[in-house]
Amino acid sequence: MNNRKYTIGVDFGTDSVRTILIDCSNGHILAQAVAPYKRWSQGMYCNPSANQFRQHPLDYIEGIQQTIKDITAPLSKEIINGIAAISIATTGSTPVAVNKEAVPLALVPGFENNPNAMFILWKDHTAIAEAREINQLAHSGTGQDYTKYSGGEYSSEWFWAKILHTLRADAAVREAAYSWVEHCDWIPALLTGNTNPLTLKRSRCAAGHKAMWHADWNGLPPEEFWTNLDPLLSGLRDRLYTDTHTSDQIAGTLSKEWSDILGLPQEVIIGTGSIDAHIGAIGGAIKPYQMVKVIGTSTCDMIVAPSDEIGNKSVRGICGQVDGSILPNMIGLEAGQSAFGDLYAWYRDILLWPAQEIVDKSELLDEHTKAVLIEEMPHKLLLQLSEAASEIEIQESAPVALDWMNGRRTPNSNQNLKGAIQGLTLGTTAPHIFRALVEATAFGSKKIIDQFLQEGVRIDGVIAIGGVAQKSAFVMQILADVLNFPIRVIKSEQTCALGATMAAAVVAGIHNSFLDAQNAMGSGFQKEYFPNPENVKKYTALYSKYSELAHFIEKQELGKATSTNT
């Protein structure tokens, strides 16, 4: 008789949903599957030039159905009956307007192709003006500063700014929207059938880091704050939530509808959802004062600290501090960069444009050869750039870049900021520029560490997870040299999904704590990068140049903003 217990972790990323099934006794992965978002992959409902990034709920529904069916199809009935729980991780803040049954408006007739009725992806920056207004009101001195535990600055990437922007931009959505739900809250509600916006379980993680929820003001900022900001927000707070739940708590059990769809028992427990990076930190073996860096298209940097050591001290310049957002009874602190791998992809695409245009229109090549070349160039280009850039010596005279191509998340959120490259000459090559961009992302990471240290939060070590950490030794060595910290890289390629399986194991009572789950189910480390003392010294000088460039660009942006306001 097989008495083993299994859990499923589902990670809704930016481009796809990834699902794994794990043996809770030893962390063995029985099955895993990935499903790209069909509509998203075609660029539907997005307008990058306007910083608009929207995802259709059908991409999420189809993705979870496909991946869970893919992993369970070959399993025996005995193993399927041993699946105890499912936990969910998603990007965030990724909210959606819903009706009274918590149905996203994009699933309601008349709104099927309306981007404003869809999930507003974390990296959507259409709400820069609204974020600025929230900060102006919060910092006006007329009342409580509700950004106090959000690093002192509210971002256009977050819940309220996106809502206000949408309400202003789209009268039809404004009239039809009863409430708003984060992606990480909607999926558990969908699976359990608890789709009442007033009673579905809301994530402490998303609420605290993205919506300014805090116990000091009894939940979300009060009604008068929002009506003073804009009367369009009147009454919305009462249609949202007061209570929030940590990822070790139960959202419900699988509804009959979804039991039939997925072929799983109704007894399967569904855990409260969480933001992917935060649950990934659990899969990444986070411990007090160990910074876990999720390094992918962007970064999310997380630290946990005992509540009695942080208390009500407000840490400025970060993306929030929330009791229980990562580990229960610990303060979770978040920071991050708006672009990391995205910066490399941007440069790759610039270099590829003429090559692809020439290949695609060439009359010298047959169609098959064209297709093969166009497919292989993106991957090979970054590999060859990395190889060539690794041969370039670290020099003070080298180009210096600024990693704000998608704005700055931390320290001190400002999505108006733009990137820059300084020090170009006729001798500058493509690998020189690529190395400068990689160094810029490392310098941006150092700014975050400096901010934590300046605010009195110590860092005892650095752990890296995510695609860039797994795949690029070149990037990781530069990061170790710039940060002057050894960096351990987690072995698992699906750390966010792994963290979700750990949360599910705790929710189901298979393990008593996240520490027990980490010890039993963790993947361990695949590699450790150590700083080179000579490179550390050289990068100290280049970091000063980066800081000077950052100060200049920010001063220029401040001048433009002041001129516009006057």
- Per-residue pLDDT of 212-235, as tens digits, reads 999 999 999 999 999 999 999 999
| 408/466 same-domain check | yes
Residue 456 lies in a domain: yes
Angle of helix 473-483 relative to helix 533-565, nearest 10 degrees? 80
| 77/116 same-domain check | yes
| 428/483 same-domain check | yes
225 contacts: CB under 8 Å, gap ≥ 6:
137, 138, 143, 146
Is 513 within 8 Å of 90 (Cβ atoms)?
no
Q: How many domains does the chain have?
A: 2
CA–CA separation, 346 vs 351, rounded Å?
A: 9
| 407/508 same-domain check | no
| 504/428 same-domain check | no
User: Which amino acid makes up residue 481?
Assistant: D
Taking all residues of the chain, what is their mean pLDDT, rounded to a whole number?
A: 95
pLDDT at residue 81, as a whole number: 96
pLDDT at residue 360, as a whole number: 87
Average pLDDT over residues 61-80: 97
Residue 562 has pLDDT above 90, yes or no: no
Give residue-wise pLDDT tens across range 491-501.
Answer: 999 999 999 99
Is 276 within 8 Å of 89 (Cβ atoms)?
yes
57 contacts: CB under 8 Å, gap ≥ 6:
96, 104, 106, 107, 118, 119, 186
Residue 558 has pLDDT above 90, yes or no: no
**Full 3-state SS string of 492-520:** CCCHHHHHHHHHHHHHCCCCCCHHHHHHH
Average pLDDT over residues 261-279: 97
Residue 68, token pair as written in the block: 């869970």
Residue 133 has pLDDT above 70, yes or no: yes
Give residue-wise pLDDT tens across range 449-490.
Answer: 999 999 999 999 999 999 999 999 999 999 999 999 999 999
Residue 252, token pair as written in the block: 């419900």
Residue 447 lies in a domain: yes
The residue that leads in pLDDT, 401 or 379, is: 401
pLDDT at residue 566, as a whole number: 53
Range of the domain at 431: 398-491+532-565
Residue 136: phi and psi, rounded to 5, are -60, -45
Residue 232 lies in a domain: no
For residue 166, give the 3-state DSSP assignment.
helix
User: Which amino acid makes up residue 177?
Assistant: A
CA–CA separation, 113 vs 39, rounded Å?
A: 11
Residue 418 lies in a domain: yes
| 411/465 same-domain check | yes
Instruction: Kindly indicate the confidence band of residue 1, based on its pLDDT and cuts at 50, 70 and 90.
Output: very low
Residue 559 has pLDDT above 90, yes or no: no
406 contacts: CB under 8 Å, gap ≥ 6:
123, 125, 298, 338, 339, 342, 415
Is 1 within 8 Å of 22 (Cβ atoms)?
no
| 460/506 same-domain check | no
Q: What angle do CA 389, 447, 312 make, to 5 degrees?
A: 150
Q: Which residues of 28-58 are buried (b: 16+ CB within 10 A; e: fewer)?
A: ebbbbbbbebebbeeebbbeeeebbbbbbbb
Pairing of strands 400-402, 420-422: antiparallel
Q: What is the DSSP letter of 203?
A: B
Following DSSP, what letter does each residue of 370-392 receive, concatenated? HHHHHHHHHHHHHHHHHHHHTTS
Average pLDDT over residues 311-330: 91
Provide, rounded to the nearest whole percent, the portion of the chain with pLDDT above 70. Answer: 99
Residue 117 lies in a domain: yes
| 451/405 same-domain check | yes
Torsion of CA 130, 46, 120, 143, to 10 degrees: -10
pLDDT at residue 565, as a whole number: 59
pLDDT at residue 415, as a whole number: 85
| 511/411 same-domain check | no
Angle of helix 430-454 relative to helix 367-389, nearest 10 degrees? 60
Residue 465 lies in a domain: yes
Residue 523 has pLDDT above 70, yes or no: yes
For residue 283, give the 3-state DSSP assignment.
helix
Dihedral over Cα of 565, 229, 337, 331: its sign: positive
| 111/46 same-domain check | yes
CA–CA separation, 254 vs 188, rounded Å?
A: 9
| 403/537 same-domain check | yes
Q: Is 422 left (phi over 0), alpha (psi -120 to 50) or beta?
A: beta
| 416/551 same-domain check | yes
Average pLDDT over residues 245-267: 98
Is 468 within 8 Å of 477 (Cβ atoms)?
no
**Full 3-state SS string of 100-138:** CCCCEHHHCCCCCCCHHHCEECCCCCCCHHHHHHHHHHH
CATH number at residue 271: 3.30.420.40
pTM listed for this prediction: 0.91
Residue 290: phi and psi, rounded to 5, are -95, 120
Residue 4 has pLDDT above 50, yes or no: yes
Residue 132 lies in a domain: no
Average pLDDT over residues 534-539: 98
Instruction: Kindly indicate the confidence band of residue 563, based on its pLDDT and cuts at 50, 70 and 90.
Output: low
Q: What angle do CA 209, 10, 286 make, to 5 degrees?
A: 55
Is 332 within 8 Å of 307 (Cβ atoms)?
no
For residue 346, give the 3-state DSSP assignment.
helix
Cα→Cα distances 125→22, 129, 271, 354, Å: 36, 9, 30, 28
Residue 381 lies in a domain: no
